[in-house]
Structure 1
């Protein structure tokens, strides 16, 4: 993966490029979050929050080479915010039990723990040593994560080690060094859950694509007044020729529209080099989106040599950034067919320019501008646009569906969502049903509205012809509940959580760690998990061994909970749950 190329794509709004960047260092991200929050559940939540924040703020990143240190800073800040909300920001206070000696080495009958050793340091020194020696971050990254200069980061590490030597000294300091190395090795063994990529992709899919316009609304309004006298925007769609060469990258609806000749054929070729050229095949446009199809030709192979990538779309009162893209390469590797989606251009733009970026000799250089004629009168007519203005209420919030815009390429529903607390992936179990058939889900997103509510947008496939009945169905919605469950672990146990069975398959001690293996229906998450032992209560350290199977038509999730103790677990304690609650609410759209 080329870092600069991927960052550039991400800055233009490519969610796939951003996800690729994160997954390239998924272990490092996950372990960093884990060091701060101390359990898988919160680490995963922090990762989801981080990728959304990075997506929203990546335009602020000036140096692509600083992406990883910059994004890790966002992750750590998110972890600290999470801890603050949970009233456990100062981690070292959580480690110490009341009445314990301040010197862990005074207890010869028990193993010295790394957490107890770092209690000898102040918060900043302990954080610096964890980042440097346990996570093995370089000083530059550690400094950015802590929000200090490199010199200050080095000073905190130096002062921390000095304090440890003064406290322990001699043979005991050798034990400190050993524990730091052991902790670093233990951290390397911690792996992110198998569903990390799916959860990050879902978190991103629920964010609206970036919509940026380079002109002020007042200027646009003035321009419209000047032009209205000489140009009228036709209301009817134009049925033209079929766009040739784009079939391989079209989905079902777009393929059908193209077969019916409902696109605008461009078929204009531009030379890029001696053996390289690009053809803009055509566009399909309606009120919801603008889709451009192109073909890149290179006799030596489209994946060899320089890289040419379509970027921004500009024109009269128009500056649109790429929302998404997909490509297909021919078997002989000499031809690449692509589809790019943008927001629709201004209705009065008669000429558009596609800006082609050029990557050469490991850096981006000046590309080319491909200008072509555009016929807004060939835009497809919107089927219908109307208000819905109906509200569905849940245990912890509500959604008001405001409007629907049904165009030939896609159906978009907009609304507002109010939640009593943050919930991950709240929109993925909402369906649009046309004459009894569930339409294909295309994506969803939400954006904060001054903390009072979220603007939401749901996207589905285009509506069928001759439609008789259309309805929104809210099948389920995620909820969080507090509870206090204690399950004995003397034998296999099955306990109920809101009518769902959770089975304790086995428990014990293995490889120096207590473990509890459980299975439940997919979608149920346990919060505030700990075990009770002879020595006291031990919080969940991390989860491993995620496995998903089908049983009687239901998805079953098995995982093993690990706890940092050698004591035999006596009971499993659960303080809360997150799950999908069935609502099955229907909204008729007239």
Structure 2
């Protein structure tokens, strides 16, 4: 709206600066003094010409405003976040307006496209005149086919109207290569177990595509227990900011697997701060493939007046191979046995037997879990039956201690805790400065 007001204000100034010619007054006086009568027909033609001139003048003054409005995304307010709304108000992106209609009357229309170096956003509408748009299964397995390859669907968000006749979606796809122009959206409808494929082709206008605002290779490392987190790069664009990194190479994964020491990350929480304010997170992901264990964290776009950029490691958790046995000692009441499991302290509070069962009560830091554990009873392995009686106590230093009881079937004289795997999550406050120039 600010842009529209600026345009109208500029046009008003142009009108105010228009000056009448010096001879205009004399011509008007001579015309009034003539005795020639104007007929009704002549008068009508004068009115028509005047109206046409006024309309033409208004259209010429407001052409920029009309063109501006024609680029707006209508009906997507409930789906777009703040940054996308700003881009929409600036008229960024490309209208498409192509549809496909299935035999049952359900249609999918590609309304709009936004593209930058991080992603391609597809704005599309699904319409079901029967009012069952929530039941029409348009498969989420979409892709964009191009000459040089296929770009996969990453995520979607949508909003349905009250009549259940229309759904507005915004779907994110991998960004097409710079030389790709002709794209085909491949999707399908699933009805009664039958998949009905469909396609919509369109040409991507590269003049409307956006680039990046910040792009850097970082190669920074944050040390955590048993491994390192590598922050490889940052790519900020008008639609989002992406941090890419890795935890292990494929060679490290194979080595740990062979040594029986493999870790499986379960939690990696990173916060991004721009000019001292936290940037909202859009999503995150982690994968293990031929590249090793890699991750990405997605955030909102960076502010235009960027002066400082920081990345904080908040929390990291992983499941670790242990494969160790710990002999348990029956102690007197109040005495505790302490175990050290890969550097994590676990206290055995008490061991009890009741009705043919062995109950072992343990305490550890919050976030520590014995994810695969057995009890060796007189050299016989017994599986964990149940964990119960969870209790959390907060110490004066803020540490939270988790106490619970492990329940095993069977009793015996010789007991060993066979820990195959464990999971623990640890909080960090490691801050990394990211250059902004």
Equivalent in 423, 430, 435 of residue 263 of structure 2: 423
Partner Cα distance (1:531, 1:303) in 2: 54
Tell me, what secondary structure is at the counterpart of 2:153? coil
Larger Rg: 2
1:371 aligns with 2:371: no
Contact preservation (8 Å) 1:267, 1:279: yes
1:471 aligns with 2:310: yes
Partner Cα distance (1:487, 1:280) in 2: 69
Deviation string, structure 1 residues 233-257 (Cα, Å, up to 9, x no partner): xxxxx99833222232334443443
Q: How does 1:197-216 map to 2 (within 5 A)?
A: none
TM-score by length of 2: 0.65
Larger helix fraction of residues: 1
1:432 aligns with 2:272: yes
Number of aligned residues:
347
Query: Aligned pair in 2 of structure 1 residues 528, 296: CA closer, same or farther (>3 Å)?
Result: closer
Contact preservation (8 Å) 2:286, 2:293: no
Contact preservation (8 Å) 2:189, 2:195: yes
The aligned counterpart of 1:563 is 408
Contact preservation (8 Å) 1:244, 1:281: no
Query: Aligned pair in 2 of structure 1 residues 465, 568: CA closer, same or farther (>3 Å)?
Result: farther
The aligned counterpart of 1:24 is none
Tell me, what secondary structure is at the counterpart of 2:264? coil
The aligned counterpart of 1:443 is 284
CA apart distance, 1:549: 6.5
Tell me, what secondary structure is at the counterpart of 1:320? strand
Q: How does 1:43-442 map to 2 (within 5 A)?
A: 241-273=71-103, 275-303=105-133, 307-309=137-139, 311-365=142-196, 367-418=197-248, 419=252, 420=256, 421-425=261-265, 428-441=268-281, 442=283
Q: How does 1:470-549 map to 2 (within 5 A)?
A: 470-478=309-317, 484=326, 486=328, 488=330, 491=333, 504=349, 507-509=352-354, 512-518=356-362, 520-526=364-370, 529=373, 535=378, 539-545=382-388
Partner Cα distance (1:556, 1:293) in 2: 48
Partner Cα distance (1:478, 1:529) in 2: 18
The aligned counterpart of 2:4 is none
Larger strand fraction of residues: 2
Query: Aligned pair in 2 of structure 1 residues 308, 586: CA closer, same or farther (>3 Å)?
Result: closer
Deviation string, structure 1 residues 15-42 (Cα, Å, up to 9, x no partner): xxxxxxxxxxxxxxxxxxxxxxxxxxxx
Query: Aligned pair in 2 of structure 1 residues 577, 318: CA closer, same or farther (>3 Å)?
Result: closer
Partner Cα distance (1:559, 1:398) in 2: 31
Partner Cα distance (1:309, 1:574) in 2: 45
CA apart distance, 1:487: 6.0
Partner Cα distance (1:439, 1:295) in 2: 30
Contact preservation (8 Å) 1:494, 1:503: yes
Deviation string, structure 1 residues 163-188 (Cα, Å, up to 9, x no partner): xxxxxxxxxxxxxxxxxxxxxxxxxx
Gaps of 5+ in 1: 1-237
Partner Cα distance (1:447, 1:239) in 2: 46
Query: Aligned pair in 2 of structure 1 residues 274, 503: CA closer, same or farther (>3 Å)?
Result: same
Partner Cα distance (2:162, 2:331) in 1: 58
Tell me, what secondary structure is at the counterpart of 1:377? helix
TM-score by length of 1: 0.50
CA apart distance, 1:287: 0.5
Query: Aligned pair in 2 of structure 1 residues 244, 524: CA closer, same or farther (>3 Å)?
Result: same
Contact preservation (8 Å) 2:127, 2:133: no
Tell me, what secondary structure is at the counterpart of 2:92? coil
Partner Cα distance (1:397, 1:503) in 2: 28
Partner Cα distance (1:486, 1:532) in 2: 10
CA apart distance, 1:391: 2.6
CA apart distance, 1:382: 0.5
